[in-house]
Amino acid sequence: MKKIPTSRLRKIRTWEPGEKTFQLISSGRNNESIPLIDLASNDYLGLSQDTRLIEAAHKTMLSEGIGAGGSRLVTGSRPIHKKLEKELGKWLGFERVLLFPSGFQANLAAVCALANRKTLVITDKLIHHSLLVGIKASGAKIKRFAHNNINDLERLLQNSVLEQSSQAPLVITESLFSMEGTSPDIKKIALLCENYQARLLVDEAHALGVLGDQGRGLCHGITKGVTMISGTFGKAFGSGGAFVATNNIFGEHLLQTSGAFRYTTALAPPLAAAALEALKFLKANPKKGQRLQEEAIVWRSELAKQGWSCPQGIGPIISLEIGNDEKSLKKQYELEKNGLLTVAIRPPTVPEGTSRLRLIVRSNLPKGTLQKLLFHLGEKQ
Ligand SMILES: Cc1ncc(COP(=O)(O)O)c(C=O)c1O
């Protein structure tokens, strides 16, 4: 087994979530525990603690139990699954939606539905691990373009034409990169894919509920060029589980062929009910994501004034690059001591030499959080 350096070792720390703070229950470092303001989770809109979601899950649990007890194609399919798929399809503008127990699985299934050994997959250099696992499982050949670099993507698409492959290439990217906080120009990518007759898969895990018109992600409204999107309910939706959205042809193909869809217990009905309630919330509060973006702009500019150069993104993920693993961890623990929960992200999650603090601006943070953060973070050294 490969030896992992101490600064790269991970520990599972256990938390008790509250409406506004997180409390550490167990820690290998020490036993003291103070309530921490959550600047680390992907619960962007605070929906995981929302009473409406809790009640929806509870009601479904009382009527249907907890687990689905079978896969979707055996005994696990429930009306709540069908309803969630239908409502999401309408909201996002896709013909077909299929649910999964997790986003990791949804990505695995999405890639395998669109690629096989004969496919050339062209991906952003920084795509999520689950997509890479999908590419590996599909047996496809992979080429990567520089992060969010449309010219580099076009260069690879041009090369693929010269290679005269019998199959359309598959382009994969994300609409909000989880560790960078950056977003590509999806409209341009979709147009390129259309021009080069490539398929396009976009992981909208972090954008849904937050970016795009009414929080419907950055693919919403693009009528041509996007073949499939994946999304999760584990982030802004405050629940758990995930989905892929596509047209009827690819949806049916996925249903008939995907092991990741067929051979797994269906999404637990209470989680599906909570996700449906989150969708109801987003429809009733269409400006939520936009307000969060406005807040994130303020955070970015205040951090920049203090010497921190933030990546260009527009969303609630702010990545403060520190570079060195130990220094990033030290900063994390300093902030924790002062009541702020952030996480040092280190390789292999991010490229070598780019360890960072990943800050999440969430919509239900207590007043004065930014000022507190600026004070304890200090200037970049
Ligand atoms: C970009 C991205 N895609 C997919 C996933 C997987 O989603 P889930 O947590 O539902 O498995 C994550 C979560 O880590 C993610 O960050």
Residue 8 belongs to a domain: no
Beta carbon of 135 within 6 Å of any ligand 1 atom: no
Look up the pTM and report it.
0.96
Residue 4 belongs to a domain: no
Residue 2 belongs to a domain: no
Last residue of a domain, one of 249, 284, 319: 284
**CATH code, 314:** 3.90.1150.10
CA distance 161 to 169: 9
Residue 226 belongs to a domain: yes
3-state DSSP assignment of residue 243: strand
Beta carbon of 104 within 6 Å of any ligand 1 atom: yes
Atom of ligand 1 nearest to the CA of 240: 10
Beta carbon of 85 within 6 Å of any ligand 1 atom: no
186 plus 245 within the same structural domain: yes
Question: What is the whole-number distance in angstroms between the Cα of residue 307 and the centre of ligand 1?
Answer: 31
> Annotated catalytic residue: which of 107, 130, 138, 235?
235
The residue whose CB lies within 8 Å of the most ligand 1 atoms, and thus the one to mutate among 42, 127, 130, 173, is 130
pLDDT value at position 28? 55
Q: Residue by residue, what is the 3-state secondary structure of 47-64? A: HHHCHHHHHHHHHHHHHH
CA distances from 294 to 40, 157, 245 (A): 19, 35, 28
Beta carbon of 107 within 6 Å of any ligand 1 atom: yes
3-state DSSP assignment of residue 174: strand
Q: Edge-to-edge, what's the strand order for the sheet holding 242-246?
A: 96-100, 242-246, 228-232, 199-203, 170-174, 120-124, 141-145
312 plus 369 within the same structural domain: yes
Please tell me the residue having the least CA distance from ligand 1 atom 10. Answer: 103
Beta carbon of 101 within 6 Å of any ligand 1 atom: no
Active site residue 376: no
Last residue of a domain, one of 284, 307, 322: 284
CA distance 46 to 347: 28
CA distance 282 to 338: 33
For strand 343-345 and strand 21-26, is the pairing parallel, antiparallel, or unpaired?
Answer: unpaired
Helix (H) or strand (E) segment spanning residue 100: strand 96-100
Beta carbon of 363 within 6 Å of any ligand 1 atom: no
Active site residue 42: yes
Beta carbon of 103 within 6 Å of any ligand 1 atom: yes
pLDDT value at position 29? 55
> Residues of the chain whose pLDDT is less than 50?
none
Smallest CA-to-CA distance from 256 within 120, 109, 152, 379 is with: 109
Residue 322 belongs to a domain: yes
Active site residue 178: yes
**CATH code, 115:** 3.40.640.10
Count of structural domains, the chain: 2
273 plus 305 within the same structural domain: no
102 plus 237 within the same structural domain: yes
- In which domain, by residue range, is 144 found? 51-284
154 plus 126 within the same structural domain: yes
Q: How far apart are the first and last CA of the chain?
A: 36
Residue 263 belongs to a domain: yes
Smallest CA-to-CA distance from 359 within 307, 315, 324 is with: 315
Active site residue 174: yes
pLDDT value at position 26? 65
217 plus 366 within the same structural domain: no
The residue whose CB lies within 8 Å of the most ligand 1 atoms, and thus the one to mutate among 172, 174, 232, is 232
CA distance 292 to 363: 6
CA torsion, ordered 54, 292, 318, 182, to nearest 10 deg: 100
85 Cβ partners below 8 Å, 6+ apart? 96, 97, 98, 99, 243
Q: Look-up: residue for tokens 């992907």?
A: 42
Beta carbon of 251 within 6 Å of any ligand 1 atom: no
Beta carbon of 242 within 6 Å of any ligand 1 atom: yes
Beta strands in 152-227 (DSSP E): 170-174, 199-203
Length of the chain, please? 381
CA distances from 324 to 125, 151, 306, 315 (A): 21, 31, 19, 25
pLDDT value at position 273? 98
pLDDT value at position 379? 78
The residue whose CB lies within 8 Å of the most ligand 1 atoms, and thus the one to mutate among 99, 108, 172, 178, is 178
Helix (H) or strand (E) segment spanning residue 19: none
143 plus 248 within the same structural domain: yes
> Annotated catalytic residue: which of 38, 175, 180, 206?
206
21 Cβ partners below 8 Å, 6+ apart? 35, 36, 37, 38
211 plus 132 within the same structural domain: yes
266 plus 368 within the same structural domain: no
Report residue 151: phi and psi, to 5°. -65, -40
Last residue of a domain, one of 246, 268, 284: 284
pLDDT value at position 27? 56
CA distance 125 to 13: 30
pLDDT value at position 197? 96
Residue 131 belongs to a domain: yes
Active site residue 129: no
174 plus 28 within the same structural domain: no
pLDDT tens digits, residue range 140-195? 999 999 999 999 999 999 999 888 777 899 999 999 999 999 999 999 999 999 99
Question: What is the whole-number distance in angstroms between the Cα of residue 234 and the centre of ligand 1?
Answer: 8
276 plus 291 within the same structural domain: no
329 plus 300 within the same structural domain: yes
Kindly calculate the radius of gyration of the chain based on its CA atoms and give it in whole angstroms: 21
Residue 326 belongs to a domain: yes
